[in-house]
Structure formats: C-alpha cells, structure tokens
Amino acid sequence: MTGLFATDAAARAFDPLWDEILAVGRDPGTGGYRRFAWADADLTLREWFTGCAAARGMDVEIDRNGNLWAWWLPPGWTGEPENAFVTGSHLDSVPDGGAFDGPLGVVSAFAAVDLVRARGITPRVPVAVTCFVDEEGARFGVACIGSQLSAGALAPERALRLRDGDGVTLAEALRAAGRDPAALGPDPLLAKRIGVFVELHVEQGRALDLVDRPIALASSIWPHGRWEFTFSGEANHAGATRLVDRRDPMLTFATAVHAARGTAEKHRAVATFGKVLVAPNGTNAIPSAVRAWLDARAADEATLTALVAEIETLAGKAAAEGGIGFASEAESRSPIVEFPPEPRAKLSAALAHLGDVPVIPTAAGHDAGVLAERVPTAMLFVRNPTGVSHSPHEFAEAVDCHRGAAALAEVMAAWVR
C-alpha cells in the first residue's frame, strides 16, 4: 500500500521554502536563531509567509491578535470560511533556538498545499495555513500568546502589560509593528472556522528515534507547572561563622534539587530547578535566602500532584532539620491536554500506508494544546534523532522532513476531499 504523495515530490515542494528562511534571524556566531515576536526577524518571516500565500493565490488574513491565516477556499465559496482544515505552527524561536521548532510546521503546511493541489484535488472545505504569533514567549515571558488570546485563555489587559527585557510592553511592540493593541482579544470566529487544527512539529525528545520510526501522532501534552520555592536562613560571614552555627539555605536548596531528581525518577516524570536567585549573592557571604523555581511535568495530573507534594515534603523536612524557613507557591499550572481520539483516528487512517504510526505524548507545550480547549486538534511529530530542542543543535534529517510534509499532505487530502 502506498500513499498519494511520494517523498521526492515532497522534497521538491519543501526544500525551496525551507531554504528561503534558513538565514533569517540566525546568529552567525552560535548558529542559533533569535526570532522574537514583533522584532525584525519575526517581521521578515511574517512577510515571507504573506509572500508564500500570495504566490499560491491564497488570501492572507491577520486576525485581531496578529496570527496569520492563508486561505485556500473551495471554488465558489462565498462568505466566511467555516469548518476548515487548518494547519501550521509558529515562526518565532527561543533565544539561540533551532531551525525546526515551529518553522517545520509552517513550511510543511505550504508544501502540503502544493502537493495536494498538484494532485488536482479540489477541497470541499476551506483550507488554511496558519502562523500563531509569539508561541515561545521568548520576548514577553508568556508562551503561546497568540493562540491563548484567540482561545480566550489570556486576558488582553494582562498581555498588553507584559514587558520584554528592554522594558518595552507588548502594547508598544504592537504599535511599533503597525498593529492596534486595542484589537487584542478572544476570536469569536475560532470554533466556527476550525474544523480541525493539525500542527506538525519536530519531536522534542527521542521517542521516535528509539523505535526507529519517522512520524508519530500526539496522544497528549503532559500536565506541567512552575512552583516557586523560598528557603530563608541567616546571612553571615563565610569565613568567621563556624559550620555548626550556620543557618545556610543553600544547603537545604541543594537537598531539594536532589529530591526533585530522585522523586522524578521514581514517578517516571521530570523535575528541574533551572532558575535560582540568591540573596545577597556574595562570594564571601552565607546566603540569607534562596529562591528557586521548580518546573515539573508528569504523564497525568495525579502523578504531577504527587511528584510536587513529595518534593515539597522532602524540602520542608530538610529545612526543618537545618533551621531554615521554607515556603512553596504554585506560580502556574497547565492541565493535561488529551488530543481527542476522533481527529486522530482520521489522521491514522490517512497514514495507514505507513503502518502503525506511533502515538506518543509530549512534555512540551504547543499552540495545538492551547487550541484543544476550543476546537478539535491533532499533532504530527517528525523524528529528531538526538532529541535536542531549543538549541542550535536541534535537528531532523531532510528525508524525515520530506516524509513529514508528505504525511501532512495525505492528512490534508483525506480530510478535504
């Protein structure tokens, strides 16, 4: 059994598009990408998106939140698009990010449109290629701003007040890019418009490499959250204070770091302390306080709750033993996203020629996860042989990218015919 779309045809559709944006926002020193929302590289990529749409006779619409939609409407379609097959991803990056996270989904989406058209297929329902703005949250500190605003998950007043590292608010950045900050808000058309949203994404892990398969479907996004841990001790002289007289919160924090690792292993989850603030942060001073942020993710809600509770208990116990004050506060928590079985079954059927396509969870957040609250969504993952992501070393083999574009075209063709 073979599919409609050969890998070499997908290569011819995919490669020129991919090459067009390869240099945009790339730091020549590190090779990493710096494509931050509403800054120069992002604006260049938005122009590129508009050009791709124009070259295909697709009308571009910029929604109230700045997300881009390129429409391919069925012949004779009049009025608002409804019940569309929507596919795309994002074009922004983390600081020193890789080439694939985001752009792979947008390039594959345009390539899929080309492949489906080249087969002479006329869609029954509208097709849209999308780019959701500011997915990574690299500039303003909140991820998936474009999709969250449209889904009504982020209040526009809060979004507009967010500031980047230079103190520029999102409102100011929007104005500088010629956008109207007052336009931000939930998209009332979202649910009516989107029949399904399919996001193709580079895998951010090694699950596919480990089973030697190029493509997977997503089952779920792990629930995850951030907790602020505060350890309070007593500042004192690093030389003159006897060890037995110290109340050193750094020691308790170190215990908490190990507790997080051990507890995560036990629950087959992940837990990371990646951000720490030390007061007074002097080389020759015992710290008075350590504030640290725990990022924890697990396969289900109960495991995540148990994981964090155990880390808190172990940290609290170590604090009590060392005469250290301890407090923990949840800063944010994102519930599990279970991608619905119905669109996934249709995708599976469209990819039957690939054999049993693996269905895997991911521990990374995505626009598809945000939109899953409101509309049917599904995700396709493309193998990442090292699993490295959010790094210049993020990678997918060219042939796997072509297989991904072909798979997306199969899914699109099956859905819209």
Q: How far is the CB of 60 from Zn ion (least distance, A)?
A: 21
Residue 384, H or E segment: none
CB nearer to Zn ion: pick between 9 and 111: 111
Question: Could you tell me which of 386, 389, 408, 391 has the C-alpha nearest to residue 209?
Answer: 386
Longest alpha-carbon distance in the chain: 84
Our CB check for Zn ion shows the closer of 33 and 227 to be 33
The nearer residue to Zn ion, 42 or 101, going by C-beta atoms, is 101
Q: Which is nearer to Zn ion, 101 or 400 (CB)?
A: 101
The span from the CA of 103 to the CA of 100, in Å, is 6
- For residue 199, which of 69, 360, 88 has the smallest C-alpha distance? 88
CB of 291 to Zn ion, least distance (A): 29
Q: CB of residue 363 vs Zn ion: minimum separation in angstroms? A: 13
Nearer to Zn ion, 64 or 201 (CB): 201
Determine phi and psi for 199, rounding to 5 degrees: -110, 120
C-beta separation of 135 from 146 below 8 A: yes
Q: How far is the CB of 81 from Zn ion (least distance, A)?
A: 25
We find the least distance from the C-beta atom of residue 298 to Zn ion, in angstroms, to be: 21
Picking from 86, 155, 160, the residue whose alpha carbon sits closest to that of residue 123 is: 86
Distance separating alpha carbons of residues 219 and 59, to the nearest angstrom: 33
Please say whether the beta carbons of 392 and 213 come within 8 A: no
Asked whether 37 and 138 are in contact (CB, 8 A), the reply is yes
In angstroms, give the least distance from the CB of 63 to Zn ion: 19
Cα(297)–Cα(198) distance, rounded to whole angstroms?
24
CA distances from 274 to 39, 287, 357 (A): 26, 18, 34
The nearer residue to Zn ion, 102 or 376, going by C-beta atoms, is 102
Q: How far is the CB of 88 from Zn ion (least distance, A)?
A: 11
- Pick between residue 25 and residue 102 the one whose CB is nearest to Zn ion: 102
Which chain residues interact with Zn ion by CB under 5 A? 101-102
What are the phi and psi torsion angles at 293 (to 5°)? -110, 125
Q: Which is nearer to Zn ion, 204 or 230 (CB)?
A: 204
Which residues, 6+ apart, have CB-to-CB distance to 245 below 8 Å?
236
Nearest 10 degrees: Cα torsion 315, 321, 327, 329: 10
**Min CB(374)–Zn ion separation in Å:** 19
Compute the least distance from the CB of residue 411 to Zn ion, in Å. 19
Q: What is the CA radius of gyration of the chain?
A: 23
Q: What separation, in Å, do the N-terminal and C-terminal C-alpha atoms of the chain show?
A: 20
- Residue with Cβ nearer Zn ion (63 or 101): 101
Whichever of 102 and 126 has its CB closer to Zn ion, that residue is: 102
CB 4 within 8 A of CB 391: no
Q: In the bound complex, what is the minimum distance in angstroms from residue 136's beta carbon to Zn ion?
A: 7
- Residue whose C-alpha is closest to residue 211's, from 408, 396, 359: 359
Residue nearest to Zn ion (CB): 101
